[in-house]
């Protein structure tokens, strides 16, 4: 029997409708922001009834929270390597920067960032927690800078400020152009170029 001729089970149909609702909601939140997005518009974009939307999500707030949770979970990258006192700084930093660049290249992470930015434009208070959680995904680089500074291998008056500089150097090439201007993600060669030049610039200042 042709597998395509087998009707979907009720659970599979329910899962497909939920996925369609989430995808439609992401598009609506990105296009209009949280306040201007309605459950009616989400239902229309997902080609389901408004009642179906409410069967899955009791409120717009619950749907928004589910989207953030889904994107957050999808962008998980595992534990980052910790600072190592016996390994050259440049090699460690390049490894961490390449890991960061892979995260910034992740479709789920970029979608999360776009949703957070769109929400922030319309409601800074609503976006504050989102932005803070996005920062948690990037905390490994800051922790590494602090550990290297505490070990005396980096010299800086403010390790948090220096870590922010490091994040900014990378995002100028591999985040803001993609999120705000629709530029394509960096390929592996471009990521390596950004990681190595950023590490060299940072260590020339602080090592």
Is position 80 within any domain?
yes
Q: Is 75:137 a contact under the CB 8 Å cutoff?
A: yes
Last residue of a domain, one of 20, 40, 67: 67
Which CATH number is 22's domain given? 1.10.10.60
- What does the alpha-carbon distance between residue 123 and residue 35 come to, in Å, rounded to a whole number? 8
- The verdict on 99 and 195 lying in the same domain is yes
In-domain check, residue 29: yes
Q: Residue 11: what pLDDT?
A: 85
Residues 131 and 105 in one domain: yes
pLDDT of residue 1: 42
Tally the domains of the chain: 2
Alpha carbon distance 113, 196 (integer Å): 25
Task: Read off the pLDDT of residues 178-198 as tens digits, 9 standing for 90 and up.
Answer: 988 889 999 999 999 999 999
Over range 77-82, report the average pLDDT: 71
Q: Domain residues for 25? A: 9-67
- Are 199 and 104 members of one domain? yes
Q: Does the structure show a pLDDT above 60 at 56?
A: yes
Contact 149, 156 (CB under 8 A): yes
Looking at mean pLDDT, say which of 4-13, 61-70, 95-104 comes out highest. 95-104
Instruction: Say yes or no: 23 and 40 in one domain.
Output: yes
* Those residues with Cβ within 8 angstroms of residue 87's Cβ, 6 or more apart along the chain or in another chain: none
pLDDT in tens, 6-55: 456 778 888 899 999 998 998 888 788 777 889 999 999 999 999 999 99
% of the chain exceeding 90 in pLDDT? 47
Residue 4 has pLDDT above 60, yes or no: no
């Amino acid at each position: 029997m042709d597998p395509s001729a087998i009707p979907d089970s009720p659970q599979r149909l329910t899962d497909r409708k939920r996925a369609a609702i989430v995808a439609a909601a992401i598009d609506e939140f990105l296009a209009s922001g949280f306040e201007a997005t309605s459950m009616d518009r989400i239902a229309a974009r997902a080609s389901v009834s408004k009642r179906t939307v409410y069967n899955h999500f009791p409120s717009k707030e619950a749907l928004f929270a589910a989207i953030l949770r889904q994107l957050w979970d999808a962008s998980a990258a595992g534990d980052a390597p910790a600072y190592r006192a016996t390994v050259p700084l440049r090699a460690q930093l390049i490894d961490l920067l390449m890991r960061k660049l892979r995260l910034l290249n992740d479709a789920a992470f970029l979608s999360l960032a776009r949703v957070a930015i769109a929400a922030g434009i319309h409601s800074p208070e609503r976006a504050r927690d989102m932005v803070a959680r996005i920062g948690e995904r990037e905390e490994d680089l800051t922790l590494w800078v602090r550990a290297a500074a505490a070990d005396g291998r980096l010299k800086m008056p403010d390790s948090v400020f220096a870590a922010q500089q490091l994040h900014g150097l990378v995002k100028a090439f591999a985040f803001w152009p993609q999120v705000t201007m629709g530029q394509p993600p960096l390929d592996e060669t471009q990521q390596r170029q950004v990681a190595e030049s950023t590490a060299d610039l940072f260590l020339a200042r602080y090592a």
